[in-house]
Amino acid sequence: MNSKNHRQNHNFQIAYFLCGACHTADGAYSLLCDLREERQLACDNYKVNQLKDEAKEIRAKRLLESKDKSDKLDGQAELLELKNNRKIGKVLYQAALDEINFIDKCINAIQPLRKFKHLSDPEAHEAAQYDEWRLELISRMENSIMITGTITTEQFAIMRLHPAFQKEILPRINEIQELMKTKEGIRKLQEEIKGSKFQSINKLIETSE
Q: Where are the domains of the chain?
A: 11-123, 128-194
In this prediction, residues 93-108 reach a mean pLDDT of 96
Q: How far are the Cα atoms of 80, 82, 122, 177 from residue 63, in angstroms, in the given order?
A: 13, 14, 50, 75
Q: Pick 2 or 100 by higher pLDDT.
A: 100
pLDDT of 27 reads 96
Rounded to two decimals, the pTM is: 0.87
The C-alpha atoms of residue 100 and residue 111 are separated, in whole angstroms, by 16
pLDDT of 131 reads 96
Enumerate long-range contacts of 187-191, CB under 8 Å, 24 or more apart: 189/142, 189/146
Q: CB neighbours of 132 closer than 8 A, spacing ≥ 6?
A: 22, 23, 24, 26, 27, 30
pLDDT of 6 reads 86
pLDDT of 81 reads 93
Whether the pLDDT of residue 209 is over 60: the answer is no
The C-alpha atoms of residue 121 and residue 148 are separated, in whole angstroms, by 39
Confidence of residue 2 (pLDDT cuts 50, 70, 90): low
Whether the pLDDT of residue 207 is over 70: the answer is no
Mean pLDDT comparison of 98-107, 140-149, 189-198, highest-scoring range: 98-107
Whether the pLDDT of residue 4 is over 60: the answer is yes
pLDDT of 90 reads 92
pLDDT of 32 reads 97
pLDDT digits (tens, 9 = 90+) for 38-73: 999 999 999 999 999 999 999 999 988 888 889 889
